[in-house]
Structure 1
Amino acid sequence: MDYALGVFLFALGIAVTIALHEAGHMVAARSFGMRVRRYFIGFGPTLWSTTRGHTEYGLKAIPFGGFCDIAGMTALDPYTEDEKPYLMVDRPAWQRIAVMLAGVFVNIVLAMAIIFGVALVWGLPSTSTQQVPAVVAETMCTPATIADAKADGGAGRCEGDGPAADSGLQVGDTVTSVNGVAVEDFPEMVEQLDIVGADAADAGASVGDRVTVPATVDRDGSTVTLDLQVEVVERETQSGGSTLTGAIGMRIDNPNAELVQYNPITAVGGTVDYSWYIVKETAKALVDLPQRYWPVVESIFGGDRSNDSPVSVVGASRAGGELIEHDQWMAFLLLLANLNFFLAAFNLVPLPPMDGGHAVIVLYEKIRDWFRRRRGLEPGGPADYTRLLPVTYAITAILLVFGVTVMVADVVNPVRLF
């Protein structure tokens, strides 16, 4: 029940985000005296609509987007004589750019408002990029199978002191090498344990068996050599299957996992800092998006789906369902804020049919006209969009294929957070 509620709430959040994005275009256009013909949420067949003034408002059957139809957005748009005084294409360049970027502005403001609220209620995760050393905070047993790991509500079921304690690891030790390979932080240690466990499984070891490999730890400034026992365990993969890997049963104290607390005044700076962190990560994700496409295709046919795999609105809603199912309301809201930043960044891509593409065309017109004036010529008028149609169609087709692929993957092999 909680999962279904989470899916519904996140899907609703996406719909509200889209509605507010398009409302940003509409409000900006009207403030500059442009005429808004249609304001719709969704695509495809119309489910409901009503007309007020010169604008038709409505909902369409496919709730994965929306649009705001402004009279005369380009020189190619047909218009009536009644609309001629209100055409967007005849407005000053700065007004046209403001209208095209108004939706992006709304997404940014909405994301920062969500983050500000999270900062006040819970605090915000640290944006520090410091390494997390493999310092032993606690030793424990490790569940052998997937069923054991999921037992007791995810707390796990196992017995004994665990391989780490049996190997002589002590609280405060810092693991510096595993099986002859130096490790600088906890993720590198986990990577080496995975390799040890997988190699042991390939050699015939079964779940629950232990293999011993050399390891070194830093203990009070001195290097101590240990015979590290690594237990072969079964763990779930992103594709829903299982794999054999290595585990030793230890917990670390992750300083990056601690929430930074804020009051209403300091939350302003905290919101800006965390928002800038998300913007940088979003930019990296957009740059890497093309090379992530093929792994998504492979995941449809049984390959593993990585945690940082691109997701559609379907996958994002499923993630929202998992977060609510595990009572992770803070993470749910931050995911919605991330979505808003992604939509803002995506729409800023300077290619049609994105908002950024339309804004760049307006800038091109201004730069072109500046050069024309330098040559004693009249302004060139609106750009010829017919020359851009092949580019627009190609990019639209690419986005459609990418979106459908990711959506299929989100159905048959979704990203799992827990």
Structure 2
Amino acid sequence: MTVLLYTLGVLLFALALVVSIALHEVGHMTFAKKFGGKVTQYFVGFGPTVWSKQIGETEYGLKAIPLGGFVKIVGMLPPGAEEITEPAGVDEHGNPVHRIRKSNTGMFTQLVSDARAAEWETISAEDEPRLFYRMAWWKKVTVMAAGPAVNLLIAFAIFVPLFATYGNMADVRITPVVADVSACVVPASEDQRLCTDKDPVAPAKAAGIEVGDEIVSFNGVPATDWDTVQKAIRENSDGRAEIVVRRDGAERTLVTNTTVTARPSGDSNEPLKQVGFLGVTPTAAPQTGGVLYTLDQMGDMTVRTLEALVQLPQKVWGVAMAIIGVEDRDPLGPVSIVGGGRLAGETVSHEVIPGADKAAYLLMLIAGFNFFIGMFNFVPLLPLDGGHIAGALYEAVRRGFAKVFRRPDPGYFDVAKLLPVAYVVGLAMLVMGVVLIVGDLVVPVRLAG
């Protein structure tokens, strides 16, 4: 049964990501067609074609490796001025339509030239007014931003009902309401084991504290929040403890003596400290909220994601070191879709986690991946969507300045000149992806608990 549930979790996560990728590409295709562009292919996946069907001028299909997708928008790369040959015809305005020839001077120049040649091999004179590079800059921005925007909308659509009902597991409020009472005092290193006859009774149990009691004060210190209560308990050592609790709407005063035991100070890397111990666990409740709360949380996620993207190479290096055994894998570090699938499988198959918690965690995982995919694609570097967006914005600024200062129109921005950057970035992404996948297989991040 556990294996079946694990497999179900992996498959649900994988299916959700494939659907997300498909919708990402739908975003690009929809606006490209809306603005008159020619879309010849829409595929989900890479590698050998599994299935395809021609509908109108667009071929729709699935490929064998569902790790991405693409739409082929005709005319992404303009012809280079240095490569223009004789006119191959005219457009509807009488302007010449040019073919391009390959240039063989230098490795990167050759790569750019080959990319242009491949782009223009199937372009005919009648395609000229529909070429992507000829679109207004704001249309190009819209087409390229539509894909990652869809991922962000998917995340938003999941977060809103989840935060409004179950709550946000990343924004937990800890209150001085008793969620659990320890039956005995056991060492911190053995806190998962059952009590024995040799273990002393926990002070909270001896005092008669019950689950659901709200701690009002501890030795006269008002319980404004759990941190205040915890600090007072730890500083009390083995002294007398007078605890006021609210139960069934009425306040009761309970008396006991805390005991001294070694407990974590908060940082797992710091040694245990001898502190006062009562034996109660506070209530940790995920915060709830609607649309405005979700937008606020997604704003915080944006900041954290940008910080994570800056640190991504360093984090991936840490995963590489964990693979060879030099250091431990950071449980809060990046994971690949393989790692995400493992976490989904472990969540669904976990015997202790309630069904509602499993569903909420799985939805959070799917929404989190969509949010990261959306933000990552906005990075202003080719081959990411953000690279094309940056090129279109640069074109708008350059043409705007030329117009203001009455200079000749500099024309369309040549994205092909950035292809060397795209090759380097693409290689870096490939290497990081492989490292994360290997790390998720060799030293995987596992579900806590």
Same-fold status (TM-score > 0.5): yes
The equivalent residue for 2:221 is none
1:228 aligns with 2:268: no
Contact 1:29 1:99 in 2 (8 A): yes
Q: Distance in 2 between matches of 1:403 and 1:45?
A: 21
Among 361, 370, 375, which residue is 2:400 paired with?
370
Aligned ranges 1:61-140 → 2 under 5 Å: 61-75=64-78, 76=116, 77-78=119-120, 79-81=122-124, 82-125=126-169, 127=171, 138-140=181-183
Aligned ranges 1:5-404 → 2 under 5 Å: 5-75=8-78, 76=116, 77-78=119-120, 79-81=122-124, 82-125=126-169, 127=171, 138-141=181-184, 149=192, 157-160=194-197, 165=202, 228-230=260-262, 250-254=279-283, 257-261=284-288, 267-302=290-325, 303-326=327-350, 327=355, 328-404=358-434
* Pairwise CA distance, 1:24: 0.4
The equivalent residue for 1:196 is none
The equivalent residue for 2:222 is none
| TM-score when normalising by structure 2 | 0.69
CA offsets 1:195-220 (integer angstroms, 9 cap, x no match): xxxxxxxxxxxxxxxxxxx9689956
Q: Distance in 1 between matches of 2:201 and 2:420?
A: 61
Q: Distance in 2 between matches of 1:340 and 1:218?
A: 52
* Pairwise CA distance, 1:43: 1.3
Q: Distance in 2 between matches of 1:389 and 1:217?
A: 71
CA offsets 1:72-101 (integer angstroms, 9 cap, x no match): 122143241142231111111111100000
Larger displacement relative to structure 2 (10-19 or 375-384): 375-384
Partner of 1:388, secondary structure, is: helix
Say if 1:274 and 1:55 are closer, same or farther in 2 by CA, change over 3 A.
Answer: same
Larger displacement relative to structure 2 (289-298 or 91-100): 289-298
Partner of 1:252, secondary structure, is: strand
Task: Supply the AA of the counterpart residue of 1:269.
Answer: L
CA offsets 1:276-323 (integer angstroms, 9 cap, x no match): 333333233223222212221122123422221101111111111122
Aligned pair count reads: 362
Task: Supply the AA of the counterpart residue of 1:277.
Answer: D
* Pairwise CA distance, 1:104: 1.7
* Pairwise CA distance, 1:348: 0.8
* Pairwise CA distance, 1:145: 12
Partner of 1:258, secondary structure, is: strand
* Pairwise CA distance, 1:392: 1.1
Q: Distance in 1 between matches of 2:408 and 2:382?
A: 26
Larger displacement relative to structure 2 (91-100 or 104-113): 104-113
Task: Supply the AA of the counterpart residue of 1:335.
Answer: L
Say if 1:42 and 1:164 are closer, same or farther in 2 by CA, change over 3 A.
Answer: farther
Contact 2:339 2:437 in 1 (8 A): yes
Q: Equivalent pairs: percent with the same residue?
A: 37
Contact 1:136 1:250 in 2 (8 A): no
Say if 1:388 and 1:111 are closer, same or farther in 2 by CA, change over 3 A.
Answer: same
Contact 1:164 1:228 in 2 (8 A): no
Contact 1:163 1:249 in 2 (8 A): no
Q: Distance in 1 between matches of 2:347 and 2:239?
A: 36
The equivalent residue for 2:93 is none
Partner of 2:282, secondary structure, is: coil
Q: Distance in 1 between matches of 2:65 and 2:54?
A: 21
The equivalent residue for 1:207 is none
* Pairwise CA distance, 1:50: 1.5
Contact 1:311 1:407 in 2 (8 A): yes
| TM-score when normalising by structure 1 | 0.74
Of structures 1 and 2, the larger Rg is shown by: 2
Q: Distance in 1 between matches of 2:288 and 2:332?
A: 27
Q: Distance in 2 between matches of 1:147 and 1:215?
A: 21
